[in-house]
Chain A
């Protein structure tokens, strides 16, 4: 799964719906994939 797909899925997680794609990408940078 590439980063774009991962950002899309995270944006659909109930608690992260209010985050922008940019903020989710930043969150992803600090996460373990």
Chain B
């Protein structure tokens, strides 16, 4: 199944009876709050999966999944996936590990939003993106098809103006480089050390 940028792959509150695996492209998992402001919960890339929560508990979808670029996915029906879990306990254990990992990331995101200042939030968001969808090469991390500044702002729970200001500051300090749709962290280990991640 192929989607183009900005297509909604799953809608929050709809019934969920399938799991999706991303073969190509990037997907944002987001919700809209009561002020119609988007809150991005996660950005997923190739080999990531989503939609597992409704498959497991039968409840309605908890968030939207929206294509950030051209996206190719495969959709696995809930009953097929649940049969697979029963047949292969190793998949269930891997799924538990993945869910715990996501829970830890969410804990970290909450801590960042509630405790860090604007620079810390932006740095933490960039580190999260680098870990999730970045490509590491000789200490540098390239994040391709980078989300818009508004989307990074929605991920960092700050404003677009703050994102613009902080990214420019990081660039002036030589911490990052920016090309068309790409952000490059020049030295990822140093960046993580500096911002306490």
* Chain A residues with a Cβ under 8 A of chain B: 1, 6, 9-10, 12-19, 23, 27-28, 30-33
Contacts and interface: CB of A to CB of B under 8 A. Distances in A.
Contact of B49 (A13, A27, A28, A33): A13
Given A9-B23, A9-B47, A33-B74, A19 B80 contact: no
A19 to B, nearest CB: 7
Interface string B146-161: 0000000000000000
Nearest to B92: A15
Taking each of B1, B21, B48, B97, which has the highest tally of chain A beta carbons within 10 Å of its own beta carbon? Answer: B21
Interface of B: 1, 18, 21, 23-24, 46-49, 72, 74-77, 80, 84, 88, 90-91, 94-95, 97-98
Contacts of B46: 9
A14 B23 contact: no
A18 B91 contact: yes
Contact of A27 (B1, B23, B84, B90): B84
A30 B76 contact: yes
Given A19-B88, A30-B80, A32-B1, A13 B47 contact: yes
11 contacts: A9-B21, A12-B47, A13-B21, A13-B48, A13-B49, A14-B98, A18-B91, A19-B91, A27-B84, A28-B74, A30-B76
A17 to B, nearest CB: 7
Nearest to B79: A30
Contacts of A27: 76, 80, 84
